Amino acid sequence: MLKQKIIFFSMKNYEIPFFEYTNKEFNYEMKYLDFGLSEETANSSKGYDVVCLMVNNLLSKTIIDIFQQNEIKLITLRSAGYNNVDLKHIWGKIHVARVPAYSPNSVAEHAVTLMLALNRKVHKAYNRTRENNFSIDGLMGFDMFQKTAGIVGAGRIAKVLINILKGFGMNILVYDKIQDKEYAKKMDIKYVDLKTLYKDSDIISLHCPLTPETVHIINKEAISLMKDHVIIVNTGRGQLIDSKALIEGLKNAKIAAAGLDVYEEEEHYFFEDLSNSFIDDDVLARLLSFPNVIVTAHQAFFTKEALKNIADVTLQNVNEFFTRKTLVNEICYQCESATCHKTKETMCF
């Protein structure tokens, strides 16, 4: 039996050992490309069965057509998010799978890291002491005990975060379309509407998926409803925040600080070393100029445990597709969500 061949785009050196280790079980033929996916590079897939992509690889109509011409049978994402895929165009042509949950702990812990760093000005203190400046003027924060955290989205990551923040003695408000009342009672949290969450929260953390309804869920109007000096943290998807509205909120001090692990146009910058270049995105450059903004380059997931899970599930997706003719982690356009209408005893099409 011939080995299935997998080609990886935007592969980083730190990912390869995890995939090599997991592949001992499957023995696939794998090729790693360190460059990204584009109309010019898509033909590198010729002769392969599977394409593996990162969340910043945009899967456009043109690229999908190239993959179809090259007889690609499966696209597997090394990510939970899939807003980079034109699902409507790919539907019925090539199957797409993802890694739905690689490490909720890693993302939740990173969100808390951003909250604490921003509140206690750790990044500013670090820079000062490196220059022998031991003044603490301007570094005052607040006790998180008995403050209110507003969590937008109540999935697995959010639930880990809630557990951590409860340990600080915080009050928790949650917005989600689906309300788990038993969980709310057990954790002593409160489901509220978005306006109430914006109005009453000292810290707001975003953990909802990117859908047409959640694009720019943080916008000018939303910010106007918030408490003065609110802290906003986003480890979800960049387009959940209207970056220009965020900048205005920071400029007029409505927003005390922002921690961003994601950005609307991040695919042009994140995961790349541009230290010998310059940022030609004026909005990103402006955000980076604020002393009360911390930007991390989509690293919330970046733990050993998460990378192992990503490699394991990605290659399991491939194995399932070719040997069992099922695909539990398939992204189903027909349902307009990541949860398929099928029972997963068969694939979506």
- Residue 248 falls in the annotated catalytic set: no
* pLDDT for residue 348: 77
Side chain identity, residue 206:
L
Model pLDDT for residues 120-135, shown as the tens digit of each residue: 999 999 999 999 999 9
Q: What is the pTM of this model?
A: 0.90
Q: Which fold has domain 104-295?
A: Rossmann fold (3.40.50)
Domain ranges within the chain, ordered by starting residue: 5-102+303-335, 104-295
Binned at pLDDT 50, 70 and 90, residue 345 comes out as: low
* pLDDT for residue 213: 94
Binned at pLDDT 50, 70 and 90, residue 326 comes out as: confident
Residue 237 has pLDDT above 80, yes or no: yes
Task: Identify the active-site residue in 89, 98, 110, 298.
Answer: 298
* pLDDT for residue 245: 98
Contact 40, 58 (CB under 8 A): no
Quick one: 5-102+303-335 is in which CATH superfamily? Answer: NAD(P)-binding Rossmann-like Domain (3.40.50.720)
* pLDDT for residue 344: 59
Binned at pLDDT 50, 70 and 90, residue 102 comes out as: confident
> Residue range 11-24: average pLDDT?
97
Residue 343 has pLDDT above 70, yes or no: no
Model pLDDT for residues 243-293, shown as the tens digit of each residue: 999 999 999 999 999 999 999 999 888 988 889 988 999 999 999 999 999
Task: Identify the active-site residue in 15, 266, 320, 330.
Answer: 266
What average pLDDT is seen over the chain? 94
Model pLDDT for residues 57-95, shown as the tens digit of each residue: 999 999 999 999 999 999 999 998 888 999 999 999 999
* pLDDT for residue 340: 56
> Residue range 173-193: average pLDDT?
96
Domains 5-102+303-335 and 104-295 share a fold: yes
Secondary structure string (H, E, C) spanning 313-329: HHHHHHHHHHHHCCCCC
Contact 82, 328 (CB under 8 A): no
Task: Identify the active-site residue in 237, 264, 267, 330.
Answer: 237
- Residue 298 falls in the annotated catalytic set: yes
Residue 242 has pLDDT above 70, yes or no: yes
- Residue 207 falls in the annotated catalytic set: no
Burial class of residue 308 in the structure, from the number of CB atoms within 10 Å of its CB (0-12 exposed, 13-18 middle, 19+ buried): middle
Model pLDDT for residues 133-164, shown as the tens digit of each residue: 999 999 999 999 999 999 999 999 999 999 99
Contact 172, 166 (CB under 8 A): yes
Contact 70, 45 (CB under 8 A): yes
- What percent of the chain stands above pLDDT 70? 96
